[in-house]
Structures are given as structure tokens and as C-alpha cells.
Amino acid sequence: MPTQNRVVMLVDLDYFFAQCEELRNPTIKDKPVVVGMYSGRTEDSGAVSTSNYIARKYGVKSGIPLFLAKKRLEGVDAVFLPVDYDYYQQISDKIMQILRGYADVFEQVGIDEAYLDVTQKVHGNFEETPDLVQQMKTAVKNQVGTTFSVGVGPNKLIAKIASDKNKPDGITVVRPKDVEAFLSPLPVDRLLGVGRKTSAKMEELCIKTIGDLAAYDVQRLVELFGKTIGVYFHNAANGIDNDPVQEAGEAESISRIATLKENTRDLAVILQKTDQLTDEIHKELTQKNLSYKQVSIIAIMTDLTSRSRSQTLEQPAKDAETIRKYVRELFEKYLGESELEIRRVGVKVAQLSKEEKQQRQLTSFFTS
Ligand code: TTP
Ligand code: MG
């Protein structure tokens, strides 16, 4: 399928953490709902993770300090709740499972967003997308009870920007012929990679809108921002993005297997080897900025049969120590169950995911 004829969607779950709280307790639905990340230093220190749309009318939104949110909602019957990440993750998993069924290719990005390549599902025809989106919305509403907003476009970049246009419970379809008209009036900082610093620099060059940037001499952009970024800005402003929708995360794993110096049932000998394997795996995880949620061991016996044992964690982890701990536990248990000597050992981590959006954005909020 040529990349220029794709139909790509971005699904963004509405006011997600707060909507999950409304799902759990529908009586709060008509009040401002604020989900906060309490830092614990004092009662109200911390920041707002998200809020429902009623709270947003009072100027209470992601990132603002909790004391300010309290002030803005003074005298209002509002509900403040702490982040319950595990619960949101469960709801997210259910929704993503449903959405996956509507895509040719599905790529989850963080807890509340997913890209769907639906080119074949809609026969390459943008006119068929509203129907498909309606089916998706109905299925999620019936099976989980939540709403989401959708952007549809010829690539990820357009889909993502479009998804922001009609919220909550909205849909925005940008057909290829409408891309230029859609993008050009938007402020330039709507493009990924144009932060405060860059947009200030662009403003000096009289680049205020995406249209201004699209019309700007690409050679000059390269001189100013370097080749990679200059060309990226030029393409993005012109609505060009060839990044494919790619399955990621859950399916992937990282593993290493090695042969022991001698066949053995000695835990210390085995762990010495698996520690090395763990270090290699941890290095790769760090390089790719991935966390894992499952640890497995593999044992290949002297008769060349192989066995594996897994442990799923309650929380995703990033460190090497946790892998070592579970590898030890799993081998201890496994050696108690089997009589044969082991010839080769392996370690595997799975259910991989990128750093969560929540942490990233809160971190950048606190450090900015
Ligand atoms: P968003 O999709 O940015 O926001 P949202 O889903 O709450 O609202 P919208 O209807 O506008 O899509 O983020 C998804 C979740 O990530 C959000 O529910 C809470 C979390 N989050 C934070 O914890 N801190 C933040 O600064 C942001 C922006 C989000
Ligand atoms: Mg959202």
C-alpha cells in the first residue's frame, strides 16, 4: 500500500483519568472532577493530572498545581481524587482490546492513545470512516462505558492534530485534499517538536502559523535548525509524514540465551550466567527507553527439551535488580520441580512499553 494513500486514525480517550473515576462512581458526573498527583509533602502539594470538562470551565486542567485548582474551585461542590493508575490501566486495556479489532494495524501510544491504520477496513475511502468510528464508539460505550475522540487523516501527523479539534466524544476527518486548509491557520507550536523555545525563534522569523512555516524556504530552515530538524519542520508543515502505524509494546520481548560452562543444577552457577544475560537485556531496555511487565526464564535441559517459567509484575519496572530477583525466584522454584541437569539458560522480559506519557509530562511540568 503506497504511504500516500493511507487512512490513519488517532483515538484519544476523553479526560481519561477523570472519566475512569466517573465510571467507577457515576454520582460525581455532574460535578467538577479533579484527579491529582499528590506529592505528599503537604496536603495540597502536587499537580493536576487531569480534570473533567466541567472542571476545565473553571480553568482547572492538567499540570496546574493542586492548590491553585482548589482555589479556582473554592465554594464549588467539586471532587478531588488521587491517581489510581492500576485502575485506569485496566480500563485502558479493555478499550484498547476492543479498538484493536477495528484496525488493520494497531499501535498503542501510552495509556490513552492509539493509532489505527484502517486503510483496508474502509477500502481507502475517507467517506467510510465516520461509519467505522461510530461502530467503534458504540462498542466501547456499550462494553466499557467511556467516550473518546478521533482524528482521521492520511498520516499520523494529521490524525493526531485532528483528534484535538472536537473534544470530547468528537470526530474530525481531514481528507487529503483538505490537509493544507486544515493545517495552515494553526499555530506553529501544534507541530510535534515545536516547543516554547523553537516557536519563539520562529516568531522572530515571522513564522506564526503552520502555513507560514510551510511557505518558508527549506534551505533556510536547514541552515537554522540543522538538516534533520529543518527538513522535518518543512515536511510536517506541509502535512507530509511517512511514519507507518506499527504494532508495538505488548507483543515484543527482549531475550538472551547462553550455554553454561558445564551442565548443572547448581543455582549459583546458573545465576552467575543469568546475571550477565540480565545486564545485556537491561542495557537494551535502557537504550530503547522501555519498561517491562513480565520476566521469564528459559531452561534447556541436557536432553535438549526446553522449559520456561514466567512471572508478571504488578507494576511495570525498568531496573535490572527486579529482573534478577524474579529470575532467581523462578529458577529456585523450577529446580525444585525438575530432576534434569540444565545445559543452556535464558532470560526474557516482555510486555514492554515506552515511558508513560503521564510521567513524562509531569516531569517536564515540574522541571520547566
Ligand atoms: P490527555 O489525553 O492529554 O488528556 P485527557 O485524556 O485527560 O483529556 P482530553 O479529553 O483532552 O484528551 O492525557 C491522558 C491522561 O494522561 C490524562 O487523563 C491524565 C494523564 N496526564 C497527566 O497525568 N499529566 C498531564 O500533564 C497530562 C497532559 C496528562
Ligand atoms: Mg485524552
Q: What angle do CA 286, 100, 111 make, to 5 degrees?
A: 45
Does the C-beta of 17 come closer than 6 Å to ligand 1?
A: yes
Which stretch, 6-15, 336-345, 347-356, has highest mean pLDDT? 6-15
Backbone angles phi, psi at 135, to 5 degrees: -60, -45
List the grid coordinates of 338. Answer: 525438575
| 100 shares its domain with 233 | no
Of residues 289 and 300, the one with the higher pLDDT is: 300
DSSP 159-226: HHHHHTTSTTT-EEE--GGGHHHHHTTSBGGGSTT--HHHHHHHHHTT--BHHHHHHS-HHHHHHHH-
pTM score, whole prediction:
0.71
CATH of the domain at 71: 3.40.1170.60
Which residues are found with C-beta within 5 Å of the ion, ligand 2? Answer: 12-13, 16, 112
DSSP label at residue 42: S
List the grid coordinates of 40. Answer: 505528599
| 268 shares its domain with 354 | yes
The per-residue pLDDT of the chain, averaged, comes to 91
pLDDT reported for residue 367 = 33
Does the C-beta of 65 come closer than 6 Å to ligand 1?
A: no
| 326 shares its domain with 222 | no
Of residues 45 and 287, the one with the higher pLDDT is: 45
Q: Which positions are annotated as active-site residues? A: 113
| 332 shares its domain with 260 | yes
pLDDT score of 351 more than 70: yes
CA of 112 to the centre of ligand 2 (A): 6
CATH of the domain at 230: 1.10.150.20
CATH of the domain at 256: 3.30.1490.100
Q: Is residue 138 part of a domain?
A: yes
Q: Is residue 292 part of a domain?
A: yes
Number of domains making up the chain? 4
pLDDT score of 60 more than 80: yes
Does the C-beta of 50 come closer than 6 Å to ligand 1?
A: yes
pLDDT score of 368 more than 70: no
Q: What residues contact residue 353 under an 8 Å CB cut-off, 6+ apart?
A: 249, 250, 290, 291, 293, 316
Q: Which helix (H) or strand (E) holds 260?
A: strand 253-264
Alpha-carbon distances, residue 175 vs 158, 182, 353 (angstroms): 10, 9, 32
Using one digit for the tens of pLDDT, what is the confidence trace for 99-140? Answer: 999 999 999 988 999 999 999 999 999 999 999 999 999 999
Q: Which of 358, 311, 351 is nearest to 332 (CA)?
A: 311
Q: What residues contact residue 93 under an 8 Å CB cut-off, 6+ apart?
A: none
Structural contact between residues 72 and 59, judged by C-beta atoms closer than 8 angstroms: yes
Averaged pLDDT for residues 83-104: 94
Q: What residues contact residue 228 under an 8 Å CB cut-off, 6+ apart?
A: none
Using one digit for the tens of pLDDT, what is the confidence trace for 172-216? Answer: 999 999 999 999 999 999 998 898 999 999 999 999 999 999 999
pLDDT reported for residue 266 = 95
Domain limits for position 221: 184-237
Q: Is residue 345 part of a domain?
A: yes
CA of 357 to the centre of ligand 2 (A): 11
- Residue 364 identity (one-letter amino acid): S
Distance of CA 298 to the CA centre of its chain: 29
Using one digit for the tens of pLDDT, what is the confidence trace for 290-347? Answer: 899 999 999 999 888 888 999 999 999 999 999 999 999 999 999 988 888 999 999 9
